[in-house]
């Protein structure tokens, strides 16, 4: 399974603490990860499984420690798996939603909505226009692949079950 599929599957599955997202929002998380990592080519991604540029903090359920130092001088997070990195952003979105700082996740369907919601919740310091350009460049609704959605979901769920990250 490639990186995009792994992120999509985890975003759909959710975390032990929070439900997963719609196909649209899961696809937007994939676009975000591709934008944040230079299409999965950055050293931070390859060396730390950090798909979302998330900073290190000691209270994380998913981080295994600090990775390298980002351009802003802050340590980035290291994750054991890409799925753990995805769980971090899922929980972050749900925390912001419950705090009234993020819209209901089921209402987010477009790169524009997602970029605005992330900016309003202070996820990134870049300009809205530039971040939106990055999301648009990589956004492809994954569920729109005819006939592959159900097969992908079955394979992905089996993968998560085998890894022990999905409990039935």
pLDDT of residue 159: 67
Kindly report, residue by residue over 128-159, the tens digit of the pLDDT.
999 999 999 999 876 544 444 555 566 666 66
pLDDT of residue 147: 45
Length, in residues, of the chain = 168
- On the question of pLDDT at 55 being above 70, the answer is yes
Percentage of the chain surpassing pLDDT 70? 86
What are the domain boundaries of the chain? 3-41+82-163
d(CA 143, CA 146): 8
User: What is the value of pTM for the model shown?
Assistant: 0.84
pLDDT of residue 145: 45
Burial class (CB in 10 A: 0-12, 13-18, 19+), 106: exposed
What single string gives the DSSP state of each residue in the chain? --HHHHHHHHHHH--SSS----HHHHHHHHHHHHHHTTTTTSHHHHHH--SS-PBP-TT-SSEEEEEEE-TTSPEEEEESSHHHHHHHHHHHHHHHHHTTSS--GGG--SHHHHHHHHHHTT---S-HHHHHHHHHHH---GGGSTTHHHHHHHHHHHHHHHHT----
Kindly report, residue by residue over 81-111, the tens digit of the pLDDT.
999 999 999 999 999 999 999 999 999 999 9
- Residue 71 pLDDT class (50, 70, 90 cuts): confident
pLDDT of residue 154: 65
């Amino acid at each position: 399974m490639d990186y995009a599929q792994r992120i999509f599957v985890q975003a759909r599955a959710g975390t032990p603490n929070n439900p997963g997202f719609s196909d649209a929002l899961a696809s937007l998380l994939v676009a975000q990860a591709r934008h944040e990592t230079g299409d999965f080519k950055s050293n931070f991604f390859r060396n730390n499984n950090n798909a979302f540029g998330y900073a290190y903090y000691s209270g994380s359920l998913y981080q295994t420690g600090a990775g390298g130092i980002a351009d802003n001088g802050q340590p980035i997070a290291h994750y054991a798996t890409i799925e753990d990195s995805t769980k971090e952003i899922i929980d972050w979105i749900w925390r912001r939603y419950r705090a009234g700082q993020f819209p209901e996740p089921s209402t987010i369907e477009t790169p524009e909505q997602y970029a605005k919601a992330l900016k309003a919740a202070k996820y990134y310091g870049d300009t809205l226009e530039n971040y939106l350009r990055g999301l648009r460049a990589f956004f492809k609704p994954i569920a729109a692949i005819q006939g592959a959605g159900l097969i992908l979901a079955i394979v992905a769920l089996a993968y998560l079950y085998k890894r022990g990250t999905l409990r039935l």
